[in-house]
Amino acid sequence: MARQPDGPPPPPTVQRLRLRYTKRGPLRFASHRDLARALERALRRAQVPMAFSAGFSPHPKISYMGAAPTGAASEAEYVEIGLAERRDPEAVRVALDASLPPGIDVLECVEASAGGGALADRLDSTRWRIDLAGVEVDELDAAVRALLAAETVVVAKRTKNGPRDIDARAAVVSAAASGEAGRAILHVVVRQVTPTVRPDDVLAALAAVADLHPPLPPRAVREAQGRLDDTGEVADPLGPDREAGSRCQGEPQPV
């Protein structure tokens, strides 16, 4: 018979909270593992009553969704946490935000609505802003038009299993060029496919179709994650929970 851990089982999850947080400034260079450690330490400091998995090595019930790549900033990172006691979502947001380092800011916290489905199922696309210093807007605009006109654009992508050729064009839903403060800005919406098409893959595609090579390192910011709607926009993944009035369910206690 399989050996069982000593002691009673951990208390069940009674509430699931979904949070949107940022990755700004120097912390854009932090790895996903570093950010996960920072969040887990902050949850302990904020005394959030986390639910834990069973077994010999219990872990807090935390689910991370589509983390932005190292080097990219983000205004739309998402995580879901399971709580063993009910709490007011806004109180959790404030306490957790105060316990995190500058650059990781908790912008929203809502309770997952019953029967609302998995948060991961609402994240199938990303909107990126990529600042390209040293590139003229007209040059970027011509490259974007060449990319959108192409049926396929194969680029080499580095994966954990080595280099792999992917069709970056297939993931691009929309792309446009604009200018700001003397630099060109690429706005692009990509589907979240496997393997993930990231900003550097889109830039590799622009280099392939138009020989566009920015003279300075680009700066990418994830502006939104969500489900692609009928207009090609990225919908707010927390919207259905917010609209369900989940913040008012039950009698949550302050953190």
Judge if 94 and 129 occupy the same domain: no
Task: Output the pTM of the full model.
Answer: 0.89
Judge if 222 and 131 occupy the same domain: yes
Say whether pLDDT at 51 is over 80. yes
* Cis ω before 5 (30° cut-off from 0): no
Judge if 43 and 129 occupy the same domain: no
Top-ranked range on mean pLDDT: pick from 1-5, 7-11, 149-153, 191-195: 149-153
Judge if 25 and 109 occupy the same domain: yes
Q: What is the dihedral of CA 31, 37, 39, 44, to 10 degrees?
A: -170
Is 166 part of a structural domain of the chain?
yes
Specify the higher pLDDT residue, 214 or 254. 214
247 pLDDT band (50/70/90 cuts)? very low
Is 113 part of a structural domain of the chain?
yes
Is 32 part of a structural domain of the chain?
yes
- Domain span at residue 210 reads 125-226
Pairing of strands 73-83, 219-226: parallel
Percent of residues in the chain assigned helix, strand, coil, to nearest 5: 25, 35, 40
Tell me the per-residue pLDDT of 148-202, one tens digit each, with 9 for 90 and over: 999 999 999 987 778 889 999 999 999 999 999 889 999 999 999 988 999 999 9
Is 33 part of a structural domain of the chain?
yes
Give the chain's mean pLDDT. 91
Judge if 165 and 81 occupy the same domain: no
Domain tally, the chain: 2
Is 2 part of a structural domain of the chain?
no
| Angle, CA of 110, 55 and 114, to the nearest 5° | 25
Judge if 27 and 93 occupy the same domain: yes
Tell me the per-residue pLDDT of 63-98, one tens digit each, with 9 for 90 and over: 999 899 999 999 999 999 999 999 999 999 999 999
Among 2-11, 23-32, 43-52, 199-208, the range scoring the smallest mean pLDDT is: 2-11
**CATH code of the domain covering residue 212:** 3.30.70
Given a contact cutoff of 8 angstroms between Cβ atoms, the answer to whether 86 and 252 are in contact is yes
Judge if 59 and 93 occupy the same domain: yes
Judge if 91 and 150 occupy the same domain: no
Judge if 140 and 196 occupy the same domain: yes
Judge if 174 and 204 occupy the same domain: yes
Judge if 109 and 65 occupy the same domain: yes
**CATH code of the domain covering residue 57:** 3.30.70.580
DSSP class per residue in 118-177: -GGGG--EEEEEEEETT--HHHHHHHHHHHHH-S--EEEEEETTEEEEEESGGGEEEEEE
